[in-house]
Amino acid sequence: MTGKPKNIGLFVTCLADLFRPTVGFAAVKLLEDAGCRVHVPTQTCCGQPAFNAGARANAQAIARGVIAAFERFDYVVAPSGSCAGMIGKHYPELFQDDPTWSKRARALGIKTFELVSFLTDVLGVRAVDAAFEGKVTYHDSCSGLRELNVKRQPRQLLRQVEGLELVELPSAEECCGFGGTFCVKYADISIDIVERKRKDIVATGAGTLLAGDLGCLMNMAGRLHRAGGDVEVRHVAEVLAGMTDDAPPIGDTGPTRARED
């Protein structure tokens, strides 16, 4: 890369912040390897749970905080299509009747990206310094796929990971049933949907499931574990950053499959 390093505001996402900091550090590594300077302003959540619950005023209040905290950076990057979609696509919609905030929301929106597509589409990253032995399959999380067109980018970079074999999940574009608060509000339906997904994942014969959104990953990992299989689950950034030794797979303890092999 040439020129001044880009200043990135990392929107780490509330789920990665709480449950899986490794995803945040993987994002930092990938961005720094690509020549960016990464900043982590104090943050909580993008407000999507409130927005989707119909609590518009609450969502607006949270969004104002995010806009104020992040608008000074060249780009905002999140290791999640869902949160990046919330900031990029839904913040402008949230303030459509408020000219001042609408302008700020739109300005932030156009420079907000999902991590993997930011690496490939904006930074032009073509190679990653990572190895991962084994067969993996990939689930396209809905928001990233349909709001941000994240589909080819993770596959493009995963092909660069040494030793990794990607087998396509036939139902990759079908929802896993997470849906934010849907997963507890309509738990029975959510479990039914993720059980269909689990069967499809197991049928691929892959040892590892990857995706770009922690909500979906926790949901699918939770179901895979409950059913007693041995598919391991990770965020795609961990594999691309070569950081699979830094943490066991989601919901697991101890050594990873890669080390055992």
Partner 1 sequence: MEFMQARKFKDNAREAMADRNLQSALAQLKGGFIPRRQEAADRLPEFDALRDRARELKDHVLANLDVYLETFEENCRAAGGQVHWCATAEDARAAILGICREAGARTVTKGKSMVAEEIHLNGFLERHGITPVETDLGEYIIQLAEEPPSHIIGPAVHKTKDQVSDLFLAHHRQYGKTVRQTEPGAIINEAREVLRQKYFDADVGITGANFLVAETGSTIIVTNEGNGDLTQTLPRTHIVVTSIEKVVPTLEDASTILRVLARSATGQDFSAYTTLSTGGRRDGDLDGPENFHVVLLDNGRSAMLGTEFQDMLRCIRCGACMNHCPVYHSVGGHSYGAVYVGPMGAVLTPSLEGIDDARHLPSASTFCGRCESVCPMRIPLPKMMRHWRERAYDSGASAAMERWGVDIWAWTARRPWLYEAGARLAVRLLKRLGRGRGRLRRLPLAGGWTRGRDFPVPEGRTFQEQWRARRRAARPAP
* Site for partner 1, residues 154 to 183, rule: CB under 8 A: 173-175, 177-180, 182-183
* Contact pick of 51, 70, 113, 118 for partner 1 (by CB under 8 A): 51
In angstroms, what CA-CA distances link 113 with 122, 150, 210?
A: 9, 10, 19
Shortest reach from residue 5's CB to partner 1, in Å: 17
Q: Is 47 in the site for partner 1 (CB under 8 A)?
A: yes
Look at residue 234 and give its three-state secondary structure.
strand
Q: Is 192 in the site for partner 1 (CB under 8 A)?
A: yes
Q: Is 26 in the site for partner 1 (CB under 8 A)?
A: no
56 or 126: CB nearest partner 1: 56
Question: x/- contact string, 222-251, with partner 1 (CB under 8 A)?
Answer: xx-xx--------------------xxxxx
Q: Is 203 in the site for partner 1 (CB under 8 A)?
A: no
Strand (E) or helix (H) holding 123: none
Residue 133 burial by Cβ neighbours in a 10 Å radius (0-12, 13-18, 19+): middle
Look at residue 144 and give its three-state secondary structure.
helix
- Which positions from 100 through 139 interact with partner 1, judged by CB under 8 A? none
6 or 223: CB nearest partner 1: 223
Shortest reach from residue 236's CB to partner 1, in Å: 17
CA distance 190 to 183: 5
- Which positions from 207 through 226 interact with partner 1, judged by CB under 8 A? 218-219, 221-223, 225-226
Look at residue 50 and give its three-state secondary structure.
helix
End-to-end CA distance of the chain: 36
- Site size toward partner 1 (CB under 8 A) is 71
Tokens representing residue 155 in the block: 């596959």
Strand (E) or helix (H) holding 77: strand 75-78
> Residues 6 or more apart from 71 whose CB is under 8 A from it?
104, 107, 108
Shortest reach from residue 215's CB to partner 1, in Å: 10
Stretch near partner 1 under the rule CB under 8 A, chosen from 47-55, 108-116, 119-127, 201-209:
47-55
- Which positions from 75 through 94 interact with partner 1, judged by CB under 8 A? 93
